[in-house]
Amino acid sequence: MNAIAHRPPVRGRWIPWVFVAGFLVVIGVNGVLITAAVGTFTGTTTTGSYDRGLGYGAVLEEAARQKALGWQGRVSRVDGGIALTLRLLDGAPLPADAVVTGTLQRPLDRTALPLAFQPSAPGTWRAAAEAAPGAWEAVLTVARGADRLELRERLVIP
């Protein structure tokens, strides 16, 4: 009977609590990451992303060609419309024989309003635009002979 009465105390009762604490840490971190992922998802997806990725080399070539062209454009909001100012590489205004076409698009749903640009001053074109208030993206193409420039600029219409 003495052997039973003198049994050493049980050690290591804390070991199961270490496992419980480890699992609680993992669950807590996962909860934070899931909340961040769900809270920041915009809902915007791209269809055909693989096919678009295959043609990305052509996008880079076009960007390099437009950069070498050296045209500098600025899109701005003016009373009742949109103004586009274009300069050549040397800073001179782009001649009025250039043709400017484009649309105003909503960033997410791509609702488009066509723009009819007319030269208004040397290197400046204007288009009337009756757009609803909010964020819009001006998607413009400037063509002069074989040269072409594409511009995208975000505008906020009050």
At residue 36, the pLDDT reads 92
The predicted pLDDT at position 2 comes to 55
* Tens-digit pLDDT profile for residues 107-149: 887 788 899 999 988 989 999 988 888 889 999 999 988 888 9
Q: To which residue do tokens 């949109």 refer?
A: 82
| CATH assignment of 71-157, among 3.30.559.30, 3.20.110.20, 3.30.70.360, 2.60.40.3340 | 2.60.40.3340
Contact 129, 83 (CB under 8 A): no
Radius of gyration of the chain (CA): 31
DSSP code at position 158: -
Do the strands 118-121 and 124-128 form a parallel or antiparallel pair, or are they unpaired? antiparallel
- Residue 4 pLDDT: 62
Quote the CA–CA distance of 98 and 128 in Å, as a whole number. 18
End-to-end CA distance of the chain: 92
CA–CA dist 129, 152 (Å, integer): 16
Report residues of the chain scoring pLDDT below 50: none
